[in-house]
Structure 1
């Protein structure tokens, strides 16, 4: 009887086509684990459906690869006998096949989705409500790639550089992971695409970069090449390989391709400028977010990326310094790479888990930081060994990002819900409370006064997700995350009377109307009791006034929902210089 495989190996380009082994060596390919499944042509699985249609040329690429033989799962682009992943002829042959571009997208998207589901301890749905996200690897002839919620799809373009060489955005791990993260985050927090304050759109971009950057450190061959190593990594039982100290200084790591996004695209579209983004090179300044240049979403999002990647560099180099050197030959290269993988994995899991502790509307960077610290403290209460949380908090503080004053505790975390004794559970079905959205809404409505949920707006429970995580000691950690939103249409007179916005923002009168949003997350513990209530109130006048003034100043006050949903395409096109 054939043993059923839990995962399968698929070949991808491991970081970006610009990452080479040596100055002019071969690209870095890798064979990565993705969930095992019987794939239909495309490839098409239970979460991803690749539809390779080129709208510019009005041409469909036939999917001609076989991904299984009976119960045996195949990698159609694995090197054949006598070939290696680093052989130039092999790489030319594979890259010239559009079906490989499709596989590259499928494998990286599934790998990225898997990172979220493992960190959150549950399945993650797409915001469209469907089971499959579509991917078009050659969607159009344009230097752009974006997530389109109305199309339930990731669109990857292609273009030609000055020498006529085709550049495919679908071949960059950075770009595919970035766009997949947009789709996953939209499934977790669908209101983050609404017009809001300056941080919310920027967070979508910055968070996608954080996931794309940190996710590649689990691939040793990528890290080695990014650090300038040209030799093969030693196998089990083989002699140690060493890396000199000058290659792993903070400055050397910040300058490496490892912490950049889209190097090949950046060089092709920006006259050799290098990566599309190298946020880690931003110099820390507490007032940087007040700079007018930081108004654009990608630029502002880079501040969050810079804070996180600088924390990572500090964490990694500190761990390297504890390794010790070998008689002037440098550090054990394998150990250096392993320490980078551990640090990146910890920060990546913290970042993903933070979403469960972030409000569902009008997010700002300080709230994300509080969610980041809270998520880690819940799973790892004692941070004394490595000091991850203090290091992250300090790095964010260097860029002027601090936990919300007056709303967080001394550690920068969200405090436990203080009015737990005022909550009534007697009218709720205990078994259904953490499983059924209607029962959960009944609980919220019954306790609206204690939870400070206003009756003025329309209230809806968007999701109710049970999570099972494992702490470092192997103990199961269970929570249920309830996400609810509130919406209301207010006239200026109501803004004054109900929200206490007085005076009204310039340009508003008592007859001016505006749509306001609020909401929160209620975190239930394993016993079905409220542990946290983290939210932005619908009638919080101070916050709503800031939001309305920002939307007015940026021309978004009357933005239509459809325009907001397609904004990723416009943002990314502008950023790539298209």
Structure 2
């Protein structure tokens, strides 16, 4: 995490860096306040978050990535911002957890948001950027402006609601009166992590909020839940307590697999808002959910459908946990596999907890890293499975614990099967290597896409050494413009082989007589296209190897396609084509490794989106069983408000 680069801030000189604390310790709730008034869980619910140190953190808190603005519109009240650099707070790991102290609320949302951001940066191998502010009226190449901080409003509304706003670049948390007192969504670690993840995912893939098929919004919800769930395993005291209580059997009901306990109970549910592997029956008794491959086919509501992806991922994690702890259990049970009656020995609890932490951290990193291997829009669960397998193979080719096998088996049991594959083997699931055709140019083998990576190499390499995120954003914006101009220049020349090869790899249509309704053209007669993002990554594999990759996404759109060609009054949408290109940047000659493509001329995909949108016309985005309850149709600019709240 880096400090501001504006005149108000400066970077530390080397002597200051050497003496800088490695992290800031802040107290908070491991789950939510309700567990602090239960005798069984009171001792473990107060956790200490260790987040990257920001020396120039201002009151709010206001730092490099987030700024907390504590205005309560319902009460017309500003709450005094907390100063986490105050000596008395530094000496005691911040404020003590308190439901009634607004300054602690500010500390809580800052700590959880920064903890989540840190996990993303470690997995991605680069600094995270929020989605930019976009001005569609500006000139091409100048429409996006840098957003330094995500704003967080702990008391934004008096309602059973919390959501990320793409329009405001903000997290808005609500509060409401429950049966036992006021419930603050900003005090739930799960809810804050969930909403922060929405913002981070939107910063990486802005098109994922487009509701073009059943998996799109469901994936956003499921992915946010997965990040919150796997972060449970970063709290040592909680983990040891729950492993001791369940005697090491994480397939039984535990806090580790539940989300937002207080919120769920306060809104009339039997227990937690959601559970990864279980659910209450008609009598309110918790039971393990049995995988049903037909469930995905029938699930249409985003959270119901999202729960299937969560269950598939968490079931794979539990399978790996069993593999990693098999030897420990065998030693503790004299080879029988059945632990003796009574409390587990503390050393055994520690050993099981260590293995659970390692497995959960690996799964969390897998989930985040796979985002770089996904298409730039219209993601499906099958795409995500393939991205998980491919990204993990690139990072850890020797899968000695069977993480990828566990994922494949679990996804198959839950009915998540990518289309077009003959088998569900690891080799079939990995994205195929891209095939580029080269031509002789002055006696040299040459390809436009391979040459593009060479053209960008110096620019994107320089961005990896920049500390200031705004400079990184500007460098990458320059790289996008350079990539677009370079490719446009190549494609406007009459180079048939290069144009055909480019279209085959990227899925774009660059023919002057494309014949696609809704496709726009440049004055030269070449169809328009967009270099959507250029992202360099620098990752270190477990065996110490450095992976240097360049990820470029290119898109094209057909504007104003009718939802129902026979009923124009039903409205229009933009249909997109394009691809995610992943280059290996090793050596002097970068190579294109993968091309994850959605062709713009895919008539079948267009028809499927039209059919899906027709079925949604009556629903809009007014979905009953959502994250927090009833919703009514709201503007498409606030999809997460529509998913998460009551109007």
Matches within 5 A, 1:417-432: 417-419=434-436, 421=438, 423-424=447-448, 428=452, 430-432=454-456
Partner of residue 567, structure 1: 639
Q: Deviations over 1:274-322 (max 9, x none)?
A: 011113224311121121xx21111111110010011111211232222
Matches within 5 A, 1:195-234: 195-227=211-243, 229=245
Q: Is residue 344 of structure 1 aligned with residue 341 of structure 2?
A: no
| Mean Cα deviation higher: 172-181 or 94-103 | 94-103
Find 1:521's aligned residue among 572, 575, 580.
580
Alpha carbons 1:360, 1:521 under 8 Å: kept: yes
Q: Secondary structure at the match of 1:210?
A: helix
Q: Secondary structure at the match of 1:160?
A: strand
Distance 1:519 1:374 in 2: 20
What is the deviation of 1:65?
Answer: 3.3
Q: Is residue 174 of structure 1 aligned with residue 217 of structure 2?
A: no
Matches within 5 A, 1:493-572: 507=566, 514-527=573-586, 528-555=590-617, 563-572=635-644
RMSD of aligned alpha carbons: 2.9
Alpha carbons 1:370, 1:404 under 8 Å: kept: no
Alpha carbons 1:548, 1:557 under 8 Å: kept: no
Closer, same or farther: CA 378–402 of 1 in aligned 2, 3 Å: same
Distance 1:558 1:182 in 2: 21
Partner of residue 296, structure 1: 301
Find 1:124's aligned residue among 128, 134, 149.
128
Partner of residue 101, structure 1: 105
Partner of residue 319, structure 1: 324
Partner of residue 248, structure 2: 248
Closer, same or farther: CA 543–443 of 1 in aligned 2, 3 Å: farther
Closer, same or farther: CA 322–556 of 1 in aligned 2, 3 Å: farther
Alpha carbons 1:22, 1:228 under 8 Å: kept: no
Q: Which runs of 5+ in 2 are unaligned?
A: 1-14, 133-145, 279-288, 334-339, 440-446, 461-478, 492-497, 520-527, 622-632
| More relative contact order, 1 or 2 (CA 8 Å, 6+ apart) | 1
Q: Secondary structure at the match of 2:555?
A: strand
Q: Is residue 285 of structure 1 aligned with residue 303 of structure 2?
A: no
Distance 1:208 1:505 in 2: 32
Alpha carbons 2:67, 2:150 under 8 Å: kept: yes
Find 1:440's aligned residue among 465, 479, 483.
483
Find 1:276's aligned residue among 262, 273, 276.
273
What is the deviation of 1:330?
Answer: 3.9
Distance 2:86 2:364 in 1: 32
Alpha carbons 2:44, 2:237 under 8 Å: kept: no
Closer, same or farther: CA 30–555 of 1 in aligned 2, 3 Å: same
Partner of residue 401, structure 1: 416
What is the deviation of 1:77?
Answer: 5.2
Matches within 5 A, 1:50-89: 50-68=68-86, 74=90, 78=94
Alpha carbons 1:145, 1:572 under 8 Å: kept: yes
Distance 1:360 1:556 in 2: 28
Find 1:416's aligned residue among 433, 446, 450.
433
Partner of residue 263, structure 1: 261
Closer, same or farther: CA 429–518 of 1 in aligned 2, 3 Å: closer
What is the deviation of 1:259?
Answer: 0.8
What is the deviation of 1:228?
Answer: 5.6
TM-score (normalizing by structure 1): 0.84
The total of aligned residue pairs comes to: 526
| Mean Cα deviation higher: 37-46 or 320-329 | 320-329
Closer, same or farther: CA 202–558 of 1 in aligned 2, 3 Å: closer
What is the deviation of 1:96?
Answer: 2.3
Closer, same or farther: CA 162–95 of 1 in aligned 2, 3 Å: closer
Distance 2:417 2:191 in 1: 29
Closer, same or farther: CA 481–75 of 1 in aligned 2, 3 Å: farther
Closer, same or farther: CA 23–420 of 1 in aligned 2, 3 Å: farther
TM-score (normalizing by structure 2): 0.76
Distance 1:442 1:257 in 2: 53
Partner of residue 378, structure 2: 362
Closer, same or farther: CA 375–57 of 1 in aligned 2, 3 Å: same
Distance 2:41 2:453 in 1: 65
Partner of residue 453, structure 1: 508
Q: Secondary structure at the match of 1:469?
A: strand
Alpha carbons 2:60, 2:69 under 8 Å: kept: yes
Q: Secondary structure at the match of 1:285?
A: coil
What is the deviation of 1:490?
Answer: 6.1
Q: Which runs of 5+ in 1 are unaligned?
A: 80-89, 230-245, 493-503
Closer, same or farther: CA 486–75 of 1 in aligned 2, 3 Å: farther
Partner of residue 551, structure 2: 481
Find 2:162's aligned residue among 109, 132, 145.
145
